[in-house]
Amino acid sequence: MALSGVRVLELAGLAPSPLCGMILADFGAQVVRVDRSPRSAMNTDVQGRGKRSLAIDLKRGPGAAALRRLCLRADVLVEPFRHGVMEKLGLGPKVLLQENPKLIYARLTGFGQSGRYAKSAGHDINYLALSGVLSKLGRKDENPYAPVNLLADFAGGGVMCAMGIIMALYERTKSGKGQVVDASMVEGAAYLSSFLWKSQNLGLWNRFRGENLLDSGAPFYETYKTLDGKFMAVGAIEPQFYEQLVKGLELDLDKLPSQLSFSDWPEMKKKFAAIFSKKTQAEWCRIFDGTDACVTPVLSLDEVALHQHNKERGSFIKNDQEEISPRPSPLLSRTPATPSPRRDPFIGEHTEEILLEFGFTKEEIAKLHSEKVIEFNKPKANL
């Protein structure tokens, strides 16, 4: 796989850094998640696919020293803490890059490593708010709303950080040097919304939130409820696709206002809603499937893997526990990701094997274990 042979140490975090680690693991990196002791922490990493877990107390001198030793043989370190925590542990980039100049030291935070909020707590919605993007999200006359924690935590955080790591890995093939990846979720979310900024003068955003073409203002870019309480998504932006939408709705284009007549959009939406409410989702799919009307069913997580198109592509996979989840993306033709089918690791499940792999002797491991600096958590064998 593309990242085979890359050794990653992912310090356990909440949601963004676990996605970053999972992406790297899916594409072949050996990812070790460095957990707090299972006695003091519950495992909240639901993105542990392909990772192994080492439980180590970084607040103890020998624990921090052990991580420094692990970093000597690692390619990447991902840390998910607020600014200054790693420095407090004696594990800041100055120390670790001095000891291993090839290390890629990724710091995934909400506000970045500088600026007045650098040491402030926050979550996805806060970062999205500070990025400006949240101000654009939400229906007319309603409060702005954050689409779950997808945009800052994951798109602007975990994915952007993984991208930064992979760019630094590529750069290192030429320079031989590591560097710090300062991944701020505010800036990641803002960056991925560059289109919003760059299209300001296209007339797409001149109106209030919820009245524009792509933010639920337009009747041809909207979701509509069907007779059976499900929904259809309509994205018929271009005139040639809009024409097919109108045809599928059995309306006469000549008798309708112009597609871009903003003042008529509210009435058009009501008309389309009334029509969509007359048939079931399956009936609308029979009408629109195979056309360029840009109309698709809004599928639930229970339905997506069963949809013909997704089945044909194998877009959703099952692991050993019969759990369904999305296949890694994108699909590389020659070296595709092969996500692990195994369950996620328990905290500390692989402590001993990892330390042995990284050159610790059995005596050193025994000493760290007896001093409760590290923890073993071997699952009970199924009898």
Ligand X SMILES: C[C@H](CCC[C@H](C)C(=O)SCCNC(=O)CCNC(=O)[C@H](O)C(C)(C)COP(=O)(O)OP(=O)(O)OC[C@H]1O[C@@H](n2cnc3c(N)ncnc32)[C@H](O)[C@@H]1OP(=O)(O)O)[C@H]1CC[C@H]2[C@@H]3[C@H](O)C[C@@H]4C[C@H](O)CC[C@]4(C)[C@H]3C[C@H](O)[C@]12C
Smallest distance from the beta carbon of 308 to ligand X, in angstroms? 33
Which tokens hold the place of 211? 């009245």
Instruction: State the number of binding residues for ligand X (CB under 6 A).
Output: 27
**Part in contact with ligand X (CB under 6 A); list of ranges 70-78, 115-123, 279-287, 321-329:** 115-123
Pairing of strands 76-79, 221-225: unpaired
Phi, psi for 234 (deg, rounded to 5): -115, 125
Tell me which residues in 233-252 interact with ligand X (CB under 6 A). Answer: none
Q: Is 252 considered catalytic here? A: no
Question: Catalytic residue among 26, 57, 124, 153, which?
Answer: 153
Q: Is 181 in the site for ligand X (CB under 6 A)?
A: no
Q: Which of 9, 23, 29, 36 binds ligand X (CB under 6 A)?
A: 36
Provide the residue count of the chain.
383
Tell me which residues in 1-20 interact with ligand X (CB under 6 A). Answer: 11, 13-16
Smallest distance from the beta carbon of 174 to ligand X, in angstroms? 31
Q: Is 56 in the site for ligand X (CB under 6 A)?
A: yes
Q: Is 73 in the site for ligand X (CB under 6 A)?
A: no
Q: Which of 149, 184, 226, 281 binds ligand X (CB under 6 A)?
A: 149
Smallest distance from the beta carbon of 59 to ligand X, in angstroms? 4
In the chain, % helix, strand, coil (3-state, to 5) comes to: 40, 15, 45
What separation in angstroms does the CA of 169 have from each of 16, 27, 164, 324, 330? 20, 14, 9, 31, 19
Smallest distance from the beta carbon of 183 to ligand X, in angstroms? 10
Smallest distance from the beta carbon of 327 to ligand X, in angstroms? 22
Q: Which of 10, 26, 153, 187 binds ligand X (CB under 6 A)?
A: 153
Asked if 164 contacts 112 with a C-beta cutoff of 8 angstroms, the reply is no
Which tokens hold the place of 66? 């052990």
| Cis omega (within 30 of 0) for bond into 330 | yes
3-state secondary structure of 76: strand
Distance CA 129, CA 126 (A): 5
Distance CA 38, CA 283 (A): 52
Q: Which of 4, 44, 114, 329 binds ligand X (CB under 6 A)?
A: 44
Nearer to ligand X, 39 or 177 (CB): 39
Nearer to ligand X, 21 or 219 (CB): 21
Nearer to ligand X, 69 or 225 (CB): 69
Distance CA 160, CA 188 (A): 6
Q: Is 123 considered catalytic here? A: yes
Distance CA 106, CA 162 (A): 9
In this structure, what is the dihedral angle of CA atoms 162, 104, 78, 18, given to the nearest 10 degrees? Answer: 20
Q: Which of 1, 2, 65, 85 binds ligand X (CB under 6 A)?
A: 85
Nearer to ligand X, 63 or 178 (CB): 63
Nearer to ligand X, 153 or 187 (CB): 153
Smallest distance from the beta carbon of 108 to ligand X, in angstroms? 7
Asked if 218 contacts 212 with a C-beta cutoff of 8 angstroms, the reply is yes
Q: How far apart are the first and last CA of the chain?
A: 35
Asked if 140 contacts 211 with a C-beta cutoff of 8 angstroms, the reply is yes
| Longest CA pairwise span in the chain (Å) | 84
Binding mask 263-302 for ligand X (x = CB under 6 A): ----------------------------------------
Active-site residue set = 123, 153
Q: Can you give the binding site for ligand X, defined by CB under 6 A?
A: 11, 13-16, 34, 36, 42, 44, 56-59, 80-82, 85, 88-89, 109-110, 121-124, 149, 153
